[in-house]
Structure 1
Amino acid sequence: MMRPRARLFAAAAVVALALPALAQDRPTSILPPGFGDPAPPRINAAPAPSAAGAQPSATHAPSSSASPDSGATVASGAGEDQIATSDSLTIADEAAADVPEPQEVPDAARRDASLVGRLDPVAIGLGAEPWGAAHGLFLEQAMRRTEGALPSRWLHIALRNALLARAPTPFGLDPADWVAERSWLLLRMGEADASRMLVAGVDVTDFTPKLTQVAVQSALANADAAGLCPLRDGVGDVEPRVAPLIDAMCSSLSGNPEAAAADIDQSRRRGRVGGIDVSLADKLVGAGADTARAVTIEWDPVDNLNVWRFGLATASGIMPPDRLMSGAAVQLRAWAARAPMLSVEQRLPAARIATGLGVFSGRSLVDLYSGIYDRTDPDELTQSDAWQLRLAFAGKDQDARLAAMRRLWDKAKDPLEIEATRAMLGLAASRVEPDDSLAADAPDIIASLLAAGLDEAAARWAPVVAGMSSGLGDRCWAMLALAAPSTRGIDVSFSRIDKFIDRDTSNEHRRGALLVAGLAGLGRIDRASALRLSSRYGFGFERRSEWSNMIDGAARRGQGGTVTILAGLAFQSPQWTGIPARFVLHSVSALNDTGQRFNARMIAAEALSRS
């Protein structure tokens, strides 16, 4: 008979077998630690845990009681050396008297690495123990197999919040390594700010090699060269090729240009890192005081963009060329949305991607357009999207506002652009009074309201939708049946659903399958009705897998965080078309059953609005 702990490890191993079509055995990282070297990331290099239960390493990076640049540490070393070599006891005593006592961090100021996070799990609907009794190795493997970019904006938001939850480290993991795993997944999701929040929650003296490596990548993703400096003591062990370049940049930032120049020149001579990778570091060194170094960055020979090149370029106020940015993963492009040294015009394309993914809120994108509006020449203003957005909010009447909204909706073509526009226009759409004459605009208005999370404002359209004919009326009804806070006044009868499916012209009645999956997951129709419709139209809801058993089991045990991670694991496709309806059924049901009802409704409705 298998012991409970062995069963936990077996379940972790089963994840790799249950979903071969969803992800590779190891996700392809957008964060190559070799900075141009195509080898897979070292954080992935450790062998996967086996069913036998191999524990992850808890080895810590070298630590000290003082920070790497602490004046106390340097002065103490100098004083001891002077005492040992001095022939004069008087001089030695005087030298020792000038040396301050090393300052230890008081116990009260130390932070608990096992409880790192920025969000209260209870307040965000995850419960007091979001991971429950789930083994850390199981969660770690599920997270590593999640590539990052999800087709669902609302699932992205739910997963980000779960990773930021302030909850105890799951059993079987080193606390700092658990922070590293969460931070690394956030980076792959495009969440540079959220990744930095987690890294900043751990004292540097508690860093493990894994967390040091992720912290380097997080600082670069945030275009924060200065954020590399507290990591100097440990970075040589995890990124030895660039450690001298980091030393050079930090020396320059701390006012030591001679040491910085020497480190850069030495790196060039050794040749371990060359080309643009050294030039970008030299560019930052040249930005320091009294360096008298001028560096020109040549992008022509560069054929790929990685975290090192992105981080140092944007930290210098340089936007990499469009050909490199457009060829990079969408997550990396989303990092540029908050790069502080870039102009608002440079950040706008990245901000639209970030909003479509869920990294940015619609209001954040509106704020960015407001900055562009203020900086645009008056002669060019009326031709800009910023002007149209202003009209959408502040047009003289509803007709003028709707005309501007239509122009913005029609302009968006890419799926991420479409969802970003909807989220941006959510508040403007909430000012449109429901009216039977606006039936043609109702789908876009309701989709915008739901992209912004304004479910109550969307529900106000239910009376208008009830009187609409099929076609547009079906589309609006389906979104409201899933997203409205309640179904009062919305027909969700078996016959109404059957009519929707019968009129559904999508491939294999996909929209009908998503509707039934969402309604059943939310408990708005019973499972018997869902299975009856599944049998009639071939939706396949009766099929089970190890993944469905795991997420259903986590939901029964009330593990809201585990459920969210497993839902993210299942949604491994760049588009909604790649997500089977039965995955939506189990994910929405599990989220709903663990108290994440708002997210469950928004994900279910998003499946309809984006399909």
Structure 2
Amino acid sequence: MRELENLSTDELDQLLGLRPSVDIPAAAQRSTERVGVLSFEEGGIPSGAFARQPAALVRAALAASTGPVVSRWGHILLRRVLASRLAAPDGMDPVEFAGLRARTLNAMGEFAAARALVQDVDTANYDPRLTEAAINAYIGTADIVGACPVVRIGRIDRDDAQWRMLAGICNAYAGEATRAGNDLRRLLNTGAAPRIDALLAQRFAGAAGNGRRGVTIEWDGVEDLTPIRFALANAVGEAIPDSLQAGMGPYYRLSAATAPMLPLPERAESAEFAAAQGVLSSRAIIDLYSQIFAIEGVEGEPGDRATRLRRAYVDSDPAARLSAIREIWGGAPDGETYGRYVLTSYAAARMPADEAFADDAAGLVSAMLTAGLDRDAQRWMDTVDGGSLAWGILAAGVPQFDGTVSGGDLSDFFDNDPSARQAKSRLLVAGLAGLGRIDASDASDYSEEMSLGLGRESTWSRAITRAAQVGNPGLVAVLAGLGMQGSGWERMTPLHLYHIVRALDAVGMNAEARMIAAEAVARA
């Protein structure tokens, strides 16, 4: 009897067989034949893109995709493929396939997309991998209650502090406030969970009951953030101390940029990083600053930036618009100018292709191409000097390019390249070779002269080449994402860029190939 008294309510339910096993009636349960949220008609890839592919290859590629994608356009492409409504490869369970895709989306910081994907599978069908991915997606979006069906029905053997906190919260929102309060107090009093986490969980659970017990949040002695701590604090509206917010890593910045409960100026602090990564579109970040501009009394840098952005769009004088754009670019922290390019993409497209503005052409065309405005960028082709940085970005990015690149212009580009170890030149050659905008013989000569090694092969290069040969855009995109793993462009090699651009171009994704090639030149 004493052993029964020491059991938690969840453990007792498990022992007595009272734990629910389904949350959807049999007649409403969904098939897992195709899982995803983006149909082909909505911009996804064909549902059968992976159906006849080797399960081992797809599994290995997704399992190895454990971090961010260095390219904004590569990130956008991979997200679109992973969120598509897809059938699983032959020999792979559809739930396993969904779990691998959701896990990769989480690793990219695409928590909302991962959440949407896992919600397309009935909770009763989850396996441990999909359960973990779902929990991480809900925490990444600070959607704590959204995780409750997974916590209460999930097929996973977990009894750690985080899981028990989530179980307590979910019990509270299931109408079992007393049970939840007892469980969360036990976590706090026994020290099974960090004090700050247990207090935040109590605050969150308390909103579901009728109790009037206040919970005082004390940050003293808290030295770091964790995903669950960050999510709970945001969900209950508890301000996180500046000392913890300073220097937040990529995970927290991407989560904050898309957290709807945070004040708009606070979201703006992380929005440019999220835009540079590809998590936020150009329209999304522009809309964010438009809302900030519409709020009276917003002080500080986000408000000032919103005012400059409006001038960049509506001033009748092109020179004044360019001045506002420059001010926005100039205020970016070191290494984060690209996010400001995304913010000013449509403003840059409104600038006339005039020689008077040629000194800023590289920034303007880079900004346009962050939003895929390649035809607007094309207008500058006759304005910029051959061999300039703007010329190099345009040579890789414009949709209409007659013939092949001039060797003289390329030589001038090499001579003017300010990047370390001629990184821009090396990636430009690789991108142009992949697009077929350099003669094959010239590409071979440049490869040897610059030690690019474009002719080398690896298991990965053979796999992506084969996927392109059989015309499978989905597998090409996944392998391209694997080849672009990294946190900075110094991780991208000319060899990888060449194979990625060539394969994408071969399967009908010329626009994506061009955008990635141009981005490489702009950001290296």
Task: Determine helix, strand or coil for the equivalent of 1:463.
Answer: coil
The aligned counterpart of 1:427 is 346
Aligned partner of 2:312 among 392, 409, 417: 392
Q: Deviations over 1:69-109 (max 9, x none)?
A: xxxxxxxxxxxxxxxxxxxxxxxxxxxxxxxxxxx431xx3
* TM-score (normalizing by structure 2): 0.90
Q: Is the 8 A contact 2:431 2:501 kept in 1?
A: yes
Q: Distance in 2 between matches of 1:535 and 1:378?
A: 56
2:343 is the counterpart of 1:343: no
Please tell me the residue identity of whatever aligns with 1:197. A
8 Å Cα contact 1:336/1:350 also seen in 2: yes
Tell me which of 482, 491, 501 is aligned to 1:588: 501
Deviation digits for residues 47-71 of structure 1, max 9, x if unmatched? xxxxxxxxxxxxxxx973445xxxx
Residue 411 (1) aligns with residue 324 (2): no
Check whether the contact 2:23–2:149 (CA below 8 A) recurs between aligned residues: no
Q: Is the 8 A contact 2:365 2:390 kept in 1?
A: yes
Given that 2:44 and 2:84 are in contact with CA atoms closer than 8 Å, whether structure 1 keeps it comes out as no
- Report the CA distance between 1:503 and its aligned residue: 4.1
Q: Which residue of 2 aligns with 1:546?
A: 459
Q: Distance in 2 between matches of 1:135 and 1:255?
A: 47
Query: Which residue of the partner structure matches residue 375 of structure 2?
Result: 456
- Which residue among 496, 501, 508 is the counterpart of 2:409? 496
User: Deviation at 1:326?
Assistant: 4.5
Measured after TM superposition, the shift of residue 111 of structure 1 is 1.8
Q: 1:426: how far off?
A: 0.8
SS of 1:462 mapped into structure 2: coil
Q: In structure 2, how many angstroms separate the alpha carbons of the residues matched to 1:516 and 1:139? A: 30
Instruction: Show the 5 A alignment for 1:17-32.
Output: none
**Corresponding letter in the other structure for 1:309:** R
Aligned equivalent of 1:52: none
Contact 2:34 2:47 in 1 (8 A): no
Contact 2:289 2:306 in 1 (8 A): yes
What is the TM-score when the length of structure 1 is the normalising length? Answer: 0.78
On the 8 A contact 1:199/1:215 being kept in 2, the answer is yes
**CA displacement, residues 96-125 of structure 1 (integer Å, 9 cap, x when unaligned):** xxxxxxxx431xx33222311122347647
1:64 and 2:21 aligned = yes
Asked if the contact 2:472/2:507 (under 8 Å) is kept, the reply is: yes
Structure 2 gaps of 5+ residues are: 1-18
Q: 2:429 — aligned with what?
A: 516
Task: Supply the AA of the counterpart residue of 1:413.
Answer: P
- Are the aligned partners of 1:213 and 1:239 in contact in 2 as well (CA < 8 Å)? no
State the Cα distance separating 1:175 from its structure 2 match: 1.2
Contact 2:427-2:520 at 8 Å conserved across structures? yes
Secondary structure (helix, strand or coil) at the match of 2:319 reads helix
Q: Give the Cα separation in 2 of the matches to 1:313 and 1:383.
A: 25
Contact map agreement 1:149 1:188 (CA 8 A) in 2: yes
Which range moved further: 368-377 or 230-239?
A: 230-239
Write the letter of the residue equivalent to 1:397.
D
Instruction: Choose which of 545, 555, 563 in structure 1 pairs with 2:468.
Output: 555
- What displacement does 1:229 show? 1.6
Contact persistence 2:265–2:303 (CA under 8 A): no
Instruction: Determine which of 106, 114, 128 is the counterpart of 1:187.
Output: 106
Q: CA deviation at 1:585?
A: 0.3
Q: CA deviation at 1:543?
A: 2.1
Q: Counterpart of 1:168 in 2: which secondary structure?
A: coil
- Which of 478, 482, 493 is 1:565 aligned to? 478
Moved more, 321-330 or 517-526: 321-330
**374-383 or 336-345, which deviates more:** 374-383
Find the counterpart in structure 2 of residue 475 from structure 1. Answer: 389
1:434 match: secondary structure: coil
Measured in 1, the distance between the counterparts of 2:457 and 2:266 equals 47
Give 1:550's aligned amino acid.
A
Deviation at 1:481, TM superposition (A): 0.9
| Aligned counterparts of 1:395 and 1:410: Cα–Cα separation in 2 | 19
Deviation (angstroms), 1:379: 8.2
Amino acid corresponding to residue 276 of structure 1 in structure 2: I
Whether 1:442 and 2:365 are equivalent positions in the alignment is no
Q: CA deviation at 1:233?
A: 2.8
The structure number with the bigger radius of gyration is 1
Report the CA distance between 1:556 and its aligned residue. 1.0
Displacement, 1:499? 3.6
Q: Name the counterpart of 1:609.
A: 522
Q: Could you say if the C-alpha distance between residues 502 and 372 of structure 1 is closer, same or farther in structure 2, counting changes exceeding 3 Å? A: closer
CA distance in 2, matches of 1:169, 1:267: 41
Q: SS in structure 1 opposite 2:109?
A: coil
Aligned length: 505
Q: Which residue of 2 aligns with 1:485?
A: 399
Do residues 223 (structure 1) and 142 (structure 2) align? yes
Map 1:263-302 to 2 at 5 A: 263-302=183-222
1:564 maps to a residue whose letter is A
Q: Which residue matches 2:5?
A: none
Indicate conservation of the 8 Å contact 2:393/2:518, yes or no: yes
In structure 2, relative to structure 1, the CA distance for the partners of 1:126 and 1:407 (3 Å cut) is same
Cα offsets for 1:316-358 (capped at 9, x unmatched): 1235334434454313320112222211122112222211110
- Give the direction of change, closer, same or farther, for the CA distance of 1:376–1:384 in structure 2 (3 Å limit): farther
User: Measured at CA, do residues 507 and 248 of structure 1 come closer, stay the same or move farther in structure 2, by a change above 3 Å?
Assistant: closer
Give the direction of change, closer, same or farther, for the CA distance of 1:453–1:319 in structure 2 (3 Å limit): farther
Q: Deviations over 1:507-527 (max 9, x none)?
A: 443322211111111122233
Distance 1:270 1:135, change over 3 A: farther
- Mapped partners of 2:141, 2:421: distance in 1: 44
Match of 2:56 among 127, 137, 140: 137
Amino acid in the other structure paired with 1:64? S
Aligned to 2:240: 320
Q: Which runs of 5+ in 1 are unaligned?
A: 1-61, 68-103
Residue by residue over 1:556-609, the C-alpha shift from the partner in whole angstroms, topping out at 9 and shown as x without a partner, is: 122222222222222232211221111100011111111111110000000011
- C-alpha contact 1:118 1:165 (8 A) present in aligned 2: yes
> Could you say what secondary structure the match of 1:391 adopts?
helix
Letter matched to residue 481 of structure 2: G
Query: Quick one: which amino acid aligns to residue 185 of structure 1?
Result: T
Matched with 2:6 is none
Q: Sort the Cα spacing of 1:423 and 1:357 in 2 relative to 1 into closer, same or farther, 3 A.
A: same
Q: 1:419 to 1:507 in 2, by over 3 A?
A: closer
C-alpha change, 1:304 and 1:605, in structure 2 (3 Å) is same
* Local SS of the residue matching 1:300: coil
Contact 1:319 1:346 in 2 (8 A): no
Matched, 1:105 2:26: yes
What are the Cα deviations for residues 354-389 of structure 1, in whole angstroms up to 9, with x where unaligned?
111100011111111122222242887997111111
Instruction: Identify the residue that residue 40 of structure 1 maps to in structure 2.
Output: none
Instruction: State percent identity of aligned pairs.
Output: 35
Match of 1:151 in 2: 70
Q: Distance in 2 between matches of 1:140 and 1:296?
A: 46
Q: Report the Cα distance in structure 2 between the residues aligned to 1:335 and 1:378, rounded to whole angstroms.
A: 22
Rounded to whole Å, the distance in 2 between the matches of 1:210 and 1:553 is 29
